[in-house]
Structure 1
Amino acid sequence: MENKQKALIAIYISNYTIGNSPSLLNLICLLSKHYNIHLFIKNVGLISSEIQNNKNIKIIRIDGRINAHIIISIFLNRIKFKRIKYDFHVAVDPHGFVLCKELFSDTKPFYYSLELYLKNDHFGLDYDELTEKKERENISSIKGLIIQSEEKEGYFRVDYALSKNIPTYILPVTCHGPGSNEKSNYLRDLYKISKDNKIALHLGGIAEWFSCIEICDEFSKLDDWILIFHGYSNKEYIKKLNRFIKKKDIKNVIINEITYDSINELDKIVQSSDIGIAWYNDISIGFRTVGRSSGKIATYLKFGLPVISTRYASTVDAIENTNCGICISDLRSMENAVEYICKNYQLLSQNAISEYEKSYRFEQYEKK
């Protein structure tokens, strides 16, 4: 049974993979400590056990198109539960916001922006014309905007013509728990990597827009380094990457295709590594503003990995200005970047953990 002493909130998520977003998981789990939650989901994958087994979270699945039958069902349920009244609503990105409005048209939800869905700049995002139309027709009704950086807020406000009277809450991509420089031998044992070699880690997507083949080519020149890719892959691109590795007879690149049940299982991979790679090609505003909204950067910093990233204003702010790594404009500078990190490793690693504790540890935002 739900805790009757707690207030009730509704969260709406659609067309999203919850398990890939530590920030979203953290927020839902935090709210569940203080509220009962009705979690409305549609076309959602990877729902973690933390959510499914949480007694304060009731998952309400909306299958298929929203129609009169579903609206009537929701209405009857509200009668059944003595006219449920939510203390507030949180809608995640355009699809979650549209779902919220289709179920309860008179609500004024907080809009949680995890990705930038700009009208003419939303590379790789599912943003069909109907969703865009419904979202933008109702955007003025939101109670507040939760977004990852002031830079992204600026783009969002202009693109959506958002009223200055609607407040903003800045919440960078976050991880849970304290930073740590404790190391693991997981990858070394798994792939029989010598202690004489250092490990560079590329977390996240394996796709053309992350220049994985080019990164692979640069690391093939570094004899004392092993480059490991781990993350979801574009099927055609992974074939190209494997063909490239075979053709060039590259021996120091590994593609880890193991699937893990929990996002926390990635910790041992990161703790096995020495440097984190976060490369984003210049293909969208979302990529150029990635500095404080990159899950991989936050994860690298948590475990003291200095970061090598693409040079944008946002990444310079997040990485170079905090002395946690280096940003480069051209992948041909990778060897020099690695050399710089090796020469300054202890300082950069310590700064990485300090910056994580200050800016990316979720507990820092719990009282805000």
Structure 2
Amino acid sequence: MSSGKKLKIEFKMVQQHIIHISPEFSLLEGESHFKRIRSEKISNVLIDCSAVSIWPSSACAFLADFIKRLNHRNIKWSLNSIPEDTLKTINFMLYRKPAATHLIKKDEIPVVDDTLSWVVTSWHNIVSTVKLLEDITFWTLLGPFFKHGFRYSRTLFEISERGMRSLGIVALVAGIMGLILAIQAAAQLQNFGATIYIANLVGMAIVRELGPLLAALLTAGRSGSAITAELGSMVASEEMDALRAMGVSVTKYIVVPKFVALFVALPCLTIFADVIGITGGYLFSTIQLGIPSSHYIDQTIQAISANDVMIGLIKSIADAIIIASIAVHQGLNTSGGAEGIGRSTTKSVVHSIIFIAIAHLFFTILFYFTGHTLKFNV
């Protein structure tokens, strides 16, 4: 198509209400035909693009605007014979993201296509996350040996932000959970005169499972979402592109301090949750049930070994890697402005919770079957 020609859309209002797009176009003519569509209350339109071989950005913008007007009036529309690249451009103008279209395709099987798309997207996410972890590992382990390779001050700030500021909510939830466990255990053990074993149940449950799990879930909801939103905002405002243009490593400058902060803070929060949860059970047992403090403490010490504490810490370290990886990956892959930031934040929290549950199940099964042989020399 020569540069002197204008794109023309001819509206042939036949029974199928087909719109043929040809290589010449007049905006006034297009507007008049849209008024005709509106006046005749047409509810279904087929846009045939087979006659156009070259799509300038102005033509894409017009077609996107025309489709928006159809959507605004709830008019069904379909596109036919449009190049894939042009379709992506129009989708971006319409939705600011790859979106489902009404492109007519032969022999299309939606279920199969959706499944294949999900598999490809999942594989792409796994590969990009592995590459991200590789880059993070490099700058975390070798960064301190390079000049300005590791941001100590920023890392300390992130540890304070992700760790110290989470102590309140962790203490509240862990204390409540300790009380709940003690109350539930007392309801059963009192029937057998074995209330002293509340210390065993609360201690083991908190240290091996609930302490790491509660700390991880709260961290995913508080810190993971905050990291994703922060990185997503930087992507949306093109700050990441500016850093890359200046030759600054985004991983080293932005990501590593947050990753290291979670790696350090979450095990500490787990130990803190263990102490507060056990304290909650202790307060109920000594105040309400009258169990002597010394007896409860001795029973707890006998029930919990260093091996149990190490198992909880291993889970917390795995949780930290999961939360940081997912939060950073979702943040760096944000698209679509404010709506995209909200979508990435939601995915970050939901995916983190799912993978935390899977990781805890894996470690629980592992330690169950190796419980008699797996020992930590502490």
- So what's the TM-score if we normalise by structure 1? 0.21
Q: Which has the higher strand share?
A: 1
Structure possessing the higher radius of gyration over alpha carbons: 2
The normalised TM-score by structure 2 is 0.20
Structure with higher RCO (Cα < 8 A, 6+ apart): 2
Q: Which has the higher helix share?
A: 2
